[in-house]
Amino acid sequence: MFHFTKPPASEITPEAQFSRRRLLIAAGMLALPSLSTAQNDQTLPYRRNPAWNPEDQPTPFDAVSSYNNFYEFGPDKDSPKANAQGLRISPWTVTVGGEVARPLVADIDEIIRWGIEERIYRLRCVEGWSAVIPWLGLPMSELIRRVQPTGKAKYVVFTSLADPAQMPRVRVPVLDWPYTEALRIDEAANPLTLLAVGMYGNRLPRQNGAPIRLVVPWKYGFKSAKSIVRIHFAEQAPRTTWNKAAPHEYGFYANVNPDVAHRRWSQESERRLGEFRKRPTLPFNGYAEQVAHLYAGMDLRRNY
């Protein structure tokens, strides 16, 4: 069971990353971030949600923004930061449709005006590294409320931008572009699921999935689609990008499970970015209390 505490502002926004420390008025009230010296210095108004502040100290921004998987911009961890800076993120719209009563096309700034909040989540990659990140975003449940899914909607499909003119790796068929991921609708509606538009008080850097990405903290990072342009509510389970590429290694559910090894490495431990020591991997990435009920009765070795 997790015991959440409100960390000091210096832990959330390291002084080296910001010219002034963020001002926090109070939990649940408007937080006014200070101007940043980081690469992406567009601050956002947001509300702090103290329910999702783990005891873990956030990973330094430099580590999170320079060590990424974003295959549209290259296969190496430093490729996204080097190659994504030309990505045009404004104007940007997200089309939401499928089995919904009220489909919509929303501009990214409109989504921000719906109201975003800060949540400090752990994120774990299937390769064995992890990070603790102060995300800014809209609960996916709020988008679901707005579009009113029909009774046929069983899955939510997220599609990323695939523009070979801006994304050099899209010109190479290493994956089935565009990048596509999906959740069951009850997973998407879970209070933890977030449509992130920022982190560390600012808008998302391009290499981290700007201007909008999915964050599902109890699943491996490949479930969190970046640079989303389309959200589709579907009746049938879709094939997703990594599940199509290597189904024996990347299951549809992708729940963090230390008892199920990847075909090429163990999942029993992980290394936090910026640390040398390894730590044990927790089931559901430590969020079992909030999500384990979604998989009651399922064989989590088969449904990996």
Residue 46 included in any domain? no
Residue 24 has pLDDT above 60, yes or no: no
- Distance CA(304)–CA(258), nearest Å, equals 11
The band of 269, judged by pLDDT with boundaries at 50, 70 and 90, is: very high
- Start-to-end CA distance of the chain, whole Å, equals 23
Residue 220 has pLDDT above 60, yes or no: yes
Give 92-136 as a 3 state SS string.
Answer: CEEEEEECECCCEEEEHHHHHHCCCEEEEEEEECCCCEEEEEEEE
- Distance CA(179)–CA(239), nearest Å, equals 11
- Distance CA(190)–CA(57), nearest Å, equals 24
Mean pLDDT along residues 19-28: 30
Mean pLDDT along residues 209-220: 98
Confidence (pLDDT) at 207: 98
- Strands 104-107 vs 93-98: parallel, antiparallel or unpaired: antiparallel
Residue 28 included in any domain? no
Residue 30 included in any domain? no
Q: What is the mean pLDDT of the chain?
A: 87
What DSSP element (H or E) covers 31? strand 30-32
- Single-letter code of the amino acid located at 280: P
Extended beta strands in 161-272, E state: 180-184, 194-199, 202-203, 213-215, 228-234, 269-272
Predicted TM-score (pTM) of the model is: 0.86
Residue 108 included in any domain? yes
* 120-152 b/e (C-beta count within 10 Å ≥ 16 → b): bbbbbbbbbbbbbbbbbbbbbeebbeebebeee
Residue 164 has pLDDT above 90, yes or no: yes
Residue 34 included in any domain? no
Mean pLDDT along residues 68-86: 96
3-state helix, strand, coil in the chain (%, to 5): 20, 25, 50
Confidence (pLDDT) at 50: 84
Residue 8 included in any domain? no
- Distance CA(241)–CA(205), nearest Å, equals 23
- Distance CA(163)–CA(166), nearest Å, equals 6
Range of the domain at 262: 52-295
Mean pLDDT along residues 153-167: 98
Residue 41 included in any domain? no
Higher-scoring residue by pLDDT: 248, 41: 248
Confidence (pLDDT) at 52: 82
Q: Which two tokens stand for residue 275?
A: 């640390």
Query: pLDDT, tens digit, for every residue of 105-150?
Result: 999 999 999 999 999 999 999 999 999 999 999 999 999 999 999 9
Question: Domains in the chain: how many in total?
Answer: 1
> Which CATH number do you get for residue 204?
3.90.420.10
Mean pLDDT along residues 243-261: 94
Q: Which two tokens stand for residue 13?
A: 């926004």
Residue 162 has pLDDT above 80, yes or no: yes
Residue 142 included in any domain? yes
Query: pLDDT, tens digit, for every residue of 185-197?
Result: 999 999 999 999 9
